[in-house]
Chains A and B, each alone.
Chain A
Amino acid sequence: MSILPMTIKRHQYPRIIIALLAMSLIIAACGNSTTATTSSNTPTTITFWSWVPNVQAEVTLYEKAHPNVHVNVVNAGQGAAQYTKLTTALKAGQGAPDVVQIEYPYLPQFILSGKLADLSQYGANSVKDQFVPWTWSQASQNGKVYAIPQDSGPMGFIYRNDLLAKYNLPIPQTWDQFAQEAKTFHQDDPSASLTQFSANDPNWFFSLLWQAGSQPFQVSGTTVTLHIDDAAALKVADYWGNLINSKAITVGTDFTNDWYTALSNGTYASWVTAAWGPGFLSGVAKNTSGKWRAAQMPQWTAGASASANWGGSTDAVTTQSKNPQAATDFAIWLNTNKEATAAFVQQQSLFPTTTATLSDPVITNATSTFFGGQQVNKLYGQTSAQINTSFQWSPFTDYVYSQWINDFGKAINGSTSYEQAMHKLQTDVTSYATSQGFTVK
């Protein structure tokens, strides 16, 4: 055998350079993984997914108080858009953040996936008593805590004072009154309507079911009881179906450009919405500032005072986090610290979940220019106490919601009745739950 020459020929230089480059890239990529730390004295970086506008302000407060921790804030989309990414990252085993914002209806499915860390081992139960009880119970199961409540969304009724006064319409106290006023309003002004039925917002619709006393889901471990078409739900579906069919209100989509424009130019005179609604409106419908007022939700029975919750989120820690203690500390601080929670209320108009903030006179007595000087926080504080606390969410909210859009959409298009839509939803969800291994009662 011949001995190969040991000197490197010039024509081999490019190959060697490419090999060296490739090796250095691989080493750089491998060396980028974060190292796990448990001590809070070593610099720690945690990633926080949140869509709260300008949450960096509160995060900066935290970083000032904890110089060794850097929080990387990422807006991965709002609601469903973020959950898609979160589900994918959790399934892939990498890419999920340390702390993530999750709304109450979606907590059960993430808890069931086993990918949320149990925060009770990191000291979460020490702050349990600071929170409104129903928010804590929706974020925990059997003594294990899976998320820290951030904000909630007690529902009320906000309306354009000037438009209702123009047609001499009083504030509707009951849903019957609301329906009549909707018809009168549309007759007086055919180009506008009292409100919009948002066909793309099942979250809102299920909150209406919540207010009516419906109990669509009851979950106990892997046994679910489904009554999506119970009497209260059918009542709500029929009510809105009749209102849509009478053409007194328009069917549309919320949180789209069309809808923002409509709210700005007075095409819609009211919005059945949660406590974060006003803050949101002041951003998209600035020119209507001062013309809105807030009141209690219309009731099913005269003189009652039932409310529901729409929206609001918690902050959870994923099992992919390499710094679960630091992540838990951050989540707890963000949602219990006096300065941070006050900032959430005053700057982002989030409705607080800590009893201390709820009873803080600075918060409750604050007046809102958007609402012509009304003390909206006080009103929403009152409605918050009227929320039925026994309502539960299913562990497959995504599926229920996308099916609702399909089934209710068919009813809106006239192919089925609204009651049939709810029955079909019940059937679809039952077969889905069975196929996923749940015991369905």
Chain B
Amino acid sequence: MQRSLTPSNVPRPPSRSAQKTTFLHLKRASTPYLFILPFYLLFICFIIVPLFYAGSISLYADRLVGGTVFVGLQNYTQVLHDANFWSGIQHMLLLGVIQIPVMLGLALLFALLMNTGTTALRSLFRLGFFLPYAIPSVVAALIWGYLYGPSFGLFTQIFHLLHLPALNLLAPQWVLTSIGNIITWQYTGYNMIIIYAALQSISPELIESAQVDGATGLRIALLIKIPLVMPALLLTGIFSIIGTLQLFNEPQILSTLAPTVIGDHYTPSLYAYNAAFSNQQFNYSAAISFMLALVAFICSAIFMFIASRRRNTNE
């Protein structure tokens, strides 16, 4: 910047070099925003705008006879009293309570094994565990649908070969376990990668000092590694809770094979989908979606609260 010969407290019109500096300054300050602009454009287009659209139509009711009518929060009160919605939530909570600990437990176990195991087959195992996640979940559900087929599925054929009475894995008492199986198979690898990355970031000096103190592998894992990857476990836990509550693909595909068990409201997402596209109740479907989001929010908040309390009592 050029030095000026006039006193500095006299206001003067900006010189050409000052204009250029302001322009450059603006350009530099706006550059980061330009970088994140593409993401935000897409985010607004595909997440925010539909959210507002769904929110606004949930306040109306579009009747087959009589057109669209403003009904305020009536759709929401109807969802609150809707047994179909709550039975869907119940199914998902039941699924989550069992499937999420099993899946995260397995993911943790595999991550620990990979972390301390031999280097030789590590990449092979890492790829192998992660591979199911790479399969589109619709394809996975179709494959498992064939395997579960009550008459000619692979499992039924194996039962027949072993001369055992065939178990109908799509019967009402088994279908939730079968769906949980598909989800676990698909997402254990994904969660394992996250936990493994967290394990890799543990300083080796900690492990070495523990070994010097005489700790064996199991004690190191339980007392040092697991507490240190708690944030990663919390992350995968939240993802799993939200994902389980929003379950759609697996029940949708399996509903063609077991329509009497998986009706049109087995999960809240399925209920919202069918309300819109089968029953022409788009407004009610939007209300269901928002209520589901609210339930997911509450469950996540409870989970975070419990987790932070445990962390506070430990320190």
Contact = CB atoms under 8 A, between A and B. Distances in A.
Q: Is the interface of B mostly helix, strand, loop or mixed?
A: loop
Contacts of B256: 200, 253, 256
Interface string A113-150: 10000000000000000000000000000000000000
B211 interface: no
Contact of B260 (A88, A199, A267): A199
B264 interface: yes
Interface in B44-77: 63-66
B264 A437 contact: no
A258 B263 contact: no
B251 interface: no
Nearest to B149: A258
A266 interface: no
Interface of B: 16, 19, 63-66, 146, 149-153, 172, 256-261, 263-265, 274, 277-280, 282
B280 A258 contact: no
Q: Tell me which of B150, B152, B153 has the highest count of chain A C-beta atoms within 10 A of its own C-beta.
A: B152
Interface stretch (A164-172, A337-345, A373-381, A391-399): A391-399
Given A253-B257, A253-B259, A412-B260, 8 more contacts: A2-B19, A87-B277, A87-B280, A257-B152, A398-B280, A405-B260, A436-B65, A437-B64
B9 to A, nearest CB: 25
B57 to A, nearest CB: 11
Q: Is the interface of A mostly helix, strand, loop or mixed?
A: helix
A200 B260 CA distance: 7
Contacts of B258: 253
A241 interface: no
A251 interface: yes
A382 interface: no
A19 to B, nearest CB: 14
Top-10 shortest CB links A-B? A409-B260, A437-B65, A437-B66, A437-B63, A406-B263, A200-B259, A436-B64, A402-B264, A84-B277, A258-B151
Contacts of B264: 402-403, 405-406
A247 interface: no
A402 B260 contact: no
B260 to A, nearest CB: 3
20 contacts: A84-B277, A84-B278, A87-B280, A112-B65, A200-B260, A252-B151, A258-B257, A261-B151, A395-B64, A399-B278, A399-B280, A405-B259, A405-B264, A406-B263, A413-B261, A435-B63, A436-B64, A437-B65, A437-B66, A438-B64
A199 B258 CA distance: 9
Contacts of A403: 264
A145 to B, nearest CB: 21
Contacts of A239: none
Q: Tell me which of B64, B66, B152 has the highest count of chain A C-beta atoms within 10 A of its own C-beta.
A: B64
A258 B150 contact: yes
Interface residues of A, number: 39
B151 A398 contact: no
Given A112-B64, A437-B64, A437-B66, A402 B151 contact: no
A409 B261 CA distance: 7
A262 interface: yes
Nearest to B20: A2
Nearest to B63: A437
Nearest to A202: B259
A389 interface: no
A49 B70 CA distance: 35
Contacts of B65: 112, 222, 436-438
A91 interface: yes
A185 interface: no
B58 to A, nearest CB: 15
B260 A436 contact: no
A205 interface: no
B274 A408 contact: no
B178 to A, nearest CB: 15
Interface string A155-187: 000000000000000000000000000000000
Given A200-B256, A267-B151, A435-B63, A257 B261 contact: no
Contacts of A413: 172, 260-261
Contacts of B149: 257-258
Contacts of B63: 435-437
Nearest to B173: A413
Q: Tell me which of B151, B152, B256, B279 has the highest count of chain A C-beta atoms within 10 A of its own C-beta.
A: B151
A409 B265 CA distance: 13
A432 interface: yes
A298 B270 CA distance: 38
A401 B280 CA distance: 13
A395 B279 CA distance: 11
A109 B280 CA distance: 10
A2 B19 CA distance: 9
B151 to A, nearest CB: 5
A176 B58 CA distance: 51
Interface in A211-256: 222, 251-253, 256
